Structure 1
């Protein structure tokens, strides 16, 4: 395709129409299966060993980090430096700037949500939530020396003790609720970034000239990415009324790429991903998603799962090496897929 035709407003490729339509259902099945498997396997009695879940969890972390850099930031740089854009777009690395703004935007939003939630719990005189898994400001008071008390005083002490236990129980419940809320914010941010990317690659698959290669690669791409999302959803610690959230989130992820493909097929006679407008839209969205996944991958996954995790600090060297190896393997596989998509 010539430079002029690549920048024109004409449509994309119209070959392999039947296979492009079939790709909607094939990718729907594979991506949904990848996201749902960890969620359902952890809830059922399939007898899956714990190391398998740990493999999926750390493999998924590597997949998400590689997605941020290889499958989002790199395409954003390419789209926003396209020859089809005006000179104003080529005089500054806008993709990197947008990713930077996205990183700080997510950080500020999460930090503000944490401060608001902590302040609310403190106003209620209850335990505050530490995202690293500890609690502060407990309701227990230091005990002084034992003294003899009258029966009335004993009765009052017993009543006060019962009230204190009730306050402590309520504090624990509110702390768990806030912990669940914090977890949901983290996974929602992660899934939002991945879903933006999934819709865009669905649009691209629907109109791309190199459909067959891209289709095969995207089957693996979406399955591995779904495994990364699903492994995080499976380990959410939610109250009973939130048990359906991981399942619904996994299904929502599975729907995003097929929706993008269907939309692309609907406008493939007019949609050309190489035009200036399409490059700007995809570049901005990819850069935004890259910032979201970079922050989530490095802070929520790497830092919290390794540096701030008491389990990892006390784990054997073999377990730590296994976890890091799984993560590097997932990162390497996803980075390799970036050779074709």
Structure 2
């Protein structure tokens, strides 16, 4: 997959275009008094110099937390207890999957609801139709479509390669030898071939999971970083620094575990780690640069951010429930041990519960 880094870079560029599109100042009708307000100006919480210092602290702090979280699973192969086939890795992955699930339900989806039901938006159509759940549903179905089509294309390519290989060989039957050794050997070859094909299919699925999951996380990371960078409210920024650091740490662990199972080369791993680690700090820096022109209460910003968050939520819900949790809990490893299932289930609850608690601040 030599085009993977280019594809990731293209997605990041498209995301930047979206960001700059809704960051431009616009002339909008004044909302009714008391119904639509942006960031509070004045009061003890509005302190521009102190907010700037907190943002400058937040950028390296969140960057280091993100890198630590996503890189930790990548170095786990050197620890026997944390190898992908170990029980401990399964439990840690379940915890990380719970984090991703909690991120979608407790962080991204409520943000979208708040944006798309804001009094700053017109009554029609935003107050009369549940756009958040509609877009989240479409995003989940679209993710299913991508997941399915990727496997379909792989199966067709595999069958085509097998047909070419078959025609390239002599069609005459192999010579028969005395005894039963030949028959047993052929059976072993067939089983080994099926095992290799199953491994290749699972590897492809893991790579699809990583790319789609990274896209959903990156979208939300840029959006939340942009909002934090544009804010001048120190009462909001101060708890956000700690909350986002822990958020990125645990979310990075989930993504890092998926990257590990995708078995990418060093270059692609570096690209994925770079994008995950830098998107939230980049969003903060971008919000800092656009403080004078970006308004989180402008209709364009609310609509674009709300729709992006809704799509990201649907994507994260599907990936967490279908591709991560369901695949593991219905797989042979967990199905063979009730104790491991219960421990993994508790790990999921811990991950989702931790992110639910963090939703109070971030």
- Residues 306-321 of structure 1 mapped to structure 2, 5 A cutoff: 306-307=329-330, 309-315=331-337, 317-321=338-342
Aligned to 1:115: 152
Residue of structure 2 in register with 1:255 after alignment: 278
TM-score by length of 1: 0.80
Q: Out of 284-293 and 103-112, give the one that drifted further.
A: 103-112
SS of corresponding position for 2:313: helix
Determine the structure 2 residue equivalent to 1:138.
none
1:230 and 2:230 are equivalent in the alignment: no
Quick check: 1:20 aligned with 2:40?
A: no
| Deviations, residues 139-168 of structure 1 (Å, cap 9, x unaligned) | xxxxxxxxxxxx97549xx99999999998
Q: CA deviation at 1:5?
A: 4.3
Does residue 343 of structure 2 align to residue 322 of structure 1? Answer: yes
Partner of 1:83: 119
Does the C-alpha gap of structure 1 residues 152 and 80 become closer, same or farther in structure 2, counting only changes over 3 Å? closer
CA RMSD of aligned residues (A): 3.2
Tell me if structure 1 keeps the 8 A contact 2:81–2:89. no
Q: Give the match for residue 225 of structure 2.
A: 202
Are 2:207 and 2:259, in contact at CA under 8 Å, matched by a contact in 1?
no
Correspondence 1:35 to 2:67: no
2: CA distance between counterparts of 1:153 and 1:66?
Answer: 61
Distance in 2, matches of 1:85 and 1:7, equals: 16
- CA distance change for structure 1 residues 318 and 46 in 2, over 3 Å: closer, same or farther? closer
1:105 matches 2:142: yes
What residue is the counterpart of 1:125 in the other structure? 162
CA distance in 1, matches of 2:225, 2:346: 31
Provide the secondary structure at the position in 1 that maps to 2:48: coil
Q: How far off its partner does 1:266 sit? A: 0.7
The offset of 1:302, in angstroms, is 1.7
How many residues are treated as equivalent by the alignment?
307
By how many angstroms is 1:96 displaced?
0.7
**Contact kept in structure 1, 2:108 and 2:309, CA below 8 Å:** yes
- Residues 64 and 225 in structure 1, CA contact (< 8 A), matched pair in contact too: yes
Note the alpha carbon deviations across 1:166-222, whole angstroms, 9 max, x for none.
Answer: 998777666544432221111111111011111111111112321112222111111
The equivalent position to 1:284 in structure 2, one of 304, 307, 328, is 307
**Gapped regions of structure 1 (runs ≥ 5):** 127-150
State which of 263, 266, 270 in structure 1 corresponds to 2:289.
266
Out of 66, 69, 73, the position equivalent to 2:105 is 69
Q: 1:313 to 1:205 in 2, by over 3 A?
A: same
Asked if the contact 1:36/1:247 (under 8 Å) is kept, the reply is no
Structure 2 match to 1:136: none
Match of 1:131 in 2: none
Q: Is this contact kept in 2: 1:64–1:228, CA < 8 A?
A: yes
Change (3 A) 1:43 1:2: farther
